[in-house]
Amino acid sequence: DGGITQSPKYLFRKEGQNVTLSCEQNLNHDAMYWYRQDPGQGLRLIYYSQIVNDFQKGDIAEGYSVSREKKESFPLTVTSAQKNPTAFYLCASNSIYRENEKLFFGSGTQLSVL
């Protein structure tokens, strides 16, 4: 079955540590996105990529980094510069070259600070 897979489901970060969240899709989608969700709040865009080897900052990119070496993969690194990383992280993808480019989501990663 096609879909978006995020791993791990739960992740814990120590002070000063970088952690990487995985996102893989087999939907042949061109664009991939990372959103952050805080309790009781909506989704805020961290980074997005519409083509391999290219990505753009979203609204809250500081303290995060991404790469897009393959069409299927868009890992997110939460660096030590992100002082408040505890949140639910959602990866999404869509095809931006077809009409009605519906966004499909992974099941999320809950990141907590130890």
Partner 1 sequence: GEDVEQSLFLSVREGDSSVINCTYTDSSSTYLYWYKQEPGAGLQLLTYIFSNMDMKQDQRLTVLLNKKDKHLSLRIADTQTGDSAIYFCAEMDSSYKLIFGSGTRLLVRP
Q: Which stretch binds partner 1 (CB under 8 A): 11-19, 60-68, 73-81, 101-109?
A: 101-109
DSSP at 30: S
The verdict on 104 binding partner 1 (CB under 8 A) reads yes
User: Which of 7, 26, 107, 112 is the binder for partner 1 (CB under 8 A)?
Assistant: 107
**From the CB of 15, what's the least distance to partner 1, in Å?**
25
Q: Are strands 64-66 and 76-78 parallel, antiparallel or unpaired?
A: antiparallel
Tokens encoding 2: 């096609």
Q: List binders of partner 1 among 20-79 (CB under 8 A).
A: 31, 33, 35, 40-43, 45, 48, 50, 58
Q: Which residues contact 46 (CB under 8 A, 6 or more apart)?
A: 34, 35, 36, 58, 59, 60, 61, 64, 66, 76, 89
| CB nearer to partner 1: pick between 62 and 101 | 101
Total site size for partner 1, rule CB under 8 A: 28
* Burial readout 71-98 (b: 16 or more C-beta within 10 A, e: otherwise): bbebbbebeeebeebebebbbbbbbeee
Which residue ranges make up the site for partner 1 (CB under 8 A)? 4, 6, 31, 33, 35, 40-43, 45, 48, 50, 58, 88, 90, 92, 94, 96, 100-108, 110
